[in-house]
Structure 1
Amino acid sequence: MKKLIFLLCLALSGPALTSCESFLDKNTDPNNPTSTTPNFLLPSIISNGLAIQGFSALRTAYITQYVAARAAGAGGADQYVLTTAFSNATFNNTFFLVGGNIPPMIKLAQEEGSPYYVGAGKIMMALILSHATDMLGDIPYREAFRGELNYTPVYDPQQQLYEDIQVLLDEGIAEMSKPVSENRRPFYSALPSPSGDILYQGDVQKWIRLAWSLKARQAQHLTKKAGLYNPATVLEYASKGFTSSTDDAQLQFQVAVSPLMGTTNIFGPIRNNFAMATYGANFLKFLNGATYAGVIDPRLPIMATPTSTGADPGRGGGPQPPTATTDFYSSWYARDLGYEEIITYHELQFIKAEAAFLANQKATALAAYREGIRAHMAKIGTPTVSTSPAVTFPGITAAQITSYLNSSAVAQTEAQLASPSNPTLPQAIMQQKYIAMFLNPESWTDMRRYDFSAEIYPNLVYPVGANTVAAGQYPRRLLPAEREVVLNTAQVDKIGGLAPDFFIKKVWWDE
């Protein structure tokens, strides 16, 4: 309409042209701007970027047996019946909802002289790419984010992506390390409404520690890559990472306000993604005294319930009939206004413990392992009253933490960190990390790195009625996203992604 009015104005005399220009100015919609600034782009990048892990967990939580279907033979993710549609949120949110906005924000920030926004963009790009490649394997990056200029970007090899991710994090740290005087725009503002850095409210040091923690996580993934993995490097990165749970990168969910209805917990009852799920028996056995004989973990009534029995994949179980409310919604992690952990201080302590163990620094490993347990218990152990779900969580006292740390469930000596039958396997570290990483897709990465070890995961069971295409194997990646299979078919085919058994093929760092 603007174009038509402008052409009409050109046909009129000079005085009328001025009148039309004034008319056009008055018809500019202030609620539909054609340009923006970095502080209005970053909140969406942060919130939607962090949420991606939660959407992946809708599938990976079944693979890691944190949860299982309540109906026997339901034929879903817990029986490894994976589809390209299962990958849509992981891929599409990475490349369209979030990733597509990062380069424009970085460009605007560079042009106006706001390095903290550039740094946040680099770190967020690294965060979403690292998650996407760990879930999917090879993905586009170097030819991605070009819109109509390239609808069929090539898939970069995962090894190259891992190098690119480290570069992005280094560049992000460099930008965040610049003095505040160089940042033209405030990095965070609470008025008139929050804008800019909604993750850390403008604390660039926490962003720097986030970047170092991500560097440590990604470097630790390379334990199978002889010549590339260096535990000393991981320990160096970790030493510059999170210093307490107050540094945790996590998504705080909010009351749903129309039209933004997707603002409550992905794991919670309002979103209702887990209505047909119950706890995995594999997970509960680490808490209820089955794995650690006679030791009841004080986290049990917080993470689950004292009466939860769980289910094995494919067998069904939990509250019956399946129309009953699931016990999963009694978890501290399922609070509608709770938060989703992305990468945390307690995770970093377990990363440090594993790296130190593999570097034969057993004293360091033992201390970090025990600190990881303590930090996780302290974090979820604050007495909490939840209205949705309506649960009062009892909390965990300092005495209970001490008692658990001194129990037979926890290694007391350096020698006890290892499997009794394999001194090179950090059994105790990885078991306690599995507990503390409840629902986090990162646990699937650990399981793949240790080949679903029966020594580390003694309660893991292969699903009854599992997808025959899996041929008795555990999933190693998600399938390519539905949209990519249809619109970028040739590139998906080049990586073997059209094969029905692609989900059991190992990603690069897993080989």
Structure 2
Amino acid sequence: MKRINIKVLVMMVVVAASFGACKKALDINDDPSRLTPDQANLSGLLGATIQFTATSFFNVGQYGNSYPQYLAGFNSYEANIDSYNPYGFDNIWESAYRDAMPNLKDMIDRAEKLGAPQYSGIGKVLFALTLMQSTDIWGDLPYSQAFKGPTVPSPTYDAQQDIYNTSLKALLDGAIADLAKPVPATASLKVGTSDLIFGGTIASWQKVAYGARARYYLHLSKKDPANLAKAISDVSSAIDDQKGAVDLQLKYSQERPSPWYTNLGQPAITAKQGRPSYFLVNLMNGTGYFSGVIDPRLPKLFDNAGAATYIGRPVGALSTDPGAILANSDVTEKTFYGARTSPVPILTYAEMQFIKAEALIATDKAGAYTAYINGIKGNMLKLGVSDADIATYTTNAVVTKNGNITITDIMLQKYIALFLQMETWTDMRRYQYDASIYPGLKQPNKNLLGNVYVQRAKYPDNEPGRNPNVPKIPNQAQKIWLFN
């Protein structure tokens, strides 16, 4: 992971909540996005790192949403990610390792030195979420020797087991501890308006930190079921606003549009490639697992140009294939995530409730059912579904099973609620694409891995040239430690 010879200087304009960049040739080992102390204060660093983090989560969805089969369709098999073409995911790597994590580390280090625990706490939770997402994608990663600049140009790769058991735990525990400390009296050390998500409301960040640790414990629950109780405990202190007011997400504006709008929603995009898959659409149009039930979120999430039904696109099929031609569902500017002002969600109330439901299903079915319904309602409220439609859906026996829900119900409803979030791919691999939990899920029409599901992303194509320590992986069918 050697540094390249571009230096990006990011100057935060706090009042406008935006930043610009200019480039300057410097030493070959300079980190291209790292903000030096003379370039921004803590306030400026916070605004920049929030945007970097949101971009990292968007990039993961943009390039990886074919893996959990949210989106499907490319114009050639050679470029077809949903056929498990060994794509290098360079953009995802760069947004995490070039932009988000180095600057978050700078902010954490400066905040700890200056005595600004709320800044360091926010930095640690965003760092943990970005690192957790990255290791869930690739497995082993540079961490303990990373972000040291020219002193360590080629850091070794830490084992994923160490990242989970040591590094992530320390970040998450540290975030919770820092955010609970007294707020400094000095104005420059207080989190304020450059907090582009909560505007300096530390109580909301505390809920996010507990939510991030609940996600972490759920990920480890297959390794040790005792982690389920820890996840439940953290959910009780996590994101609790059913309408999404405390969701961790960056909202965009007409002037600075959402990257989902730019990538999928804007009318100028005429040759649609990534379109909602048949698996997702069938869960909602009454032809899949929730048979006969029309999900009121359909017109919120997808645009079918007024057709009588919603039809998704086959996974691993070319745009000229018969099934792909029939597909009529798109993400456009008329949909929730395709609009100019749509958010990039990172952690939500709905996810917290589905974590709780999954963690309780084997021991407290009534508690799991309550959380399950709350998760559905929370997502519907977020999308703007009417109260009447919410009531109709959440009292339908096909959805409620008269209270006798199963893990299948929970995971499928979570899948719908987390549309465009790659956390669902982690769920699928935790259960190894089990057909009893994801009924109707099929391997791609053309599967370049043979007869198996994808387990990991390929390391970036250009990383071996920068760092000789990149692990050599035979193919993307090899499981990472978390799912072994």
**TM-score, with normalisation over the residues of structure 1?**
0.80
Deviation of the 1:267 alpha carbon:
4.2
Which segment drifts farther, 337-346 or 115-124? 115-124
Corresponding residue number in structure 1 for 2:175? 172
Residues 104-503 of structure 1 aligned to structure 2 (within 5 Å): 104-163=106-165, 164-182=167-185, 184-185=187-188, 187-190=190-193, 195=194, 197-225=195-223, 227=224, 229-244=226-241, 245-256=244-255, 266-269=263-266, 275-291=272-288, 292-305=290-303, 307=307, 308-316=310-318, 327-329=330-332, 330-358=334-362, 360-381=363-384, 396-414=385-403, 416-418=404-406, 426-467=407-448, 470-489=449-468, 491-492=469-470, 495-497=471-473, 499=474, 501=475, 503=476
CA contact (8 A) 2:138 2:456 kept: yes
What root-mean-square deviation, in Å, do the aligned CA atoms of Structure 1 and Structure 2 show? 2.7
Q: Secondary structure at the match of 1:285?
A: helix
Structure 1 unmatched ranges of 5 or more: 1-31, 382-395, 419-425
Deviation of the 1:56 alpha carbon:
1.0
Distance 2:97 2:267 in 1: 27
Compared CA separation, residues 399 and 270, structure 1 to 2 (3 A): closer
Corresponding residue number in structure 2 for 1:5? none
Distance 1:174 1:182 in 2: 18
Identity of aligned residues (%): 30
Compared CA separation, residues 103 and 230, structure 1 to 2 (3 A): closer
Give deviations 1:225-244, integer Å, cap 9, x for gaps: 1x464211111111111111
Distance 2:190 2:270 in 1: 35
State the number of aligned residues.
438
Distance 2:37 2:238 in 1: 39
The residue type equivalent to 1:200 in the other structure is F
CA contact (8 A) 1:346 1:373 kept: yes
Give deviations 1:164-219, integer Å, cap 9, x for gaps: 112111111111111224555253444xxxx3x22211011111110110100011
Deviation of the 1:409 alpha carbon:
3.2
Of 64, 69, 80, 1:60 maps to 64
Give deviations 1:406-439, integer Å, cap 9, x for gaps: 113312444x322xxxxxxx11100111111111
Corresponding residue number in structure 1 for 2:8? none
Deviation of the 1:162 alpha carbon:
1.3
Give deviations 1:248-302, integer Å, cap 9, x for gaps: 0012123456xx9979655432795983222201111011110222211111111
CA contact (8 A) 2:56 2:100 kept: no
Distance 2:250 2:422 in 1: 15
The residue type equivalent to 2:66 in the other structure is Y
Deviation of the 1:106 alpha carbon:
2.3
Deviation of the 1:247 alpha carbon:
0.8
Distance 1:115 1:150 in 2: 28
**TM-score, with normalisation over the residues of structure 2?**
0.84
Deviation of the 1:72 alpha carbon:
7.0
Deviation of the 1:35 alpha carbon:
4.0
Deviation of the 1:154 alpha carbon:
0.9
Distance 1:33 1:211 in 2: 26
Q: Specify the structure having the higher radius of gyration (Cα).
A: 1
Structure 2 unmatched ranges of 5 or more: 1-35
Compared CA separation, residues 214 and 267, structure 1 to 2 (3 A): farther
Q: Secondary structure at the match of 2:221?
A: coil
1:504 aligns with 2:480: no
Residues 81-100 of structure 1 aligned to structure 2 (within 5 Å): 81-84=85-88, 87-100=89-102
Q: Secondary structure at the match of 2:220?
A: coil
Distance 1:183 1:141 in 2: 33
Distance 2:389 2:329 in 1: 28
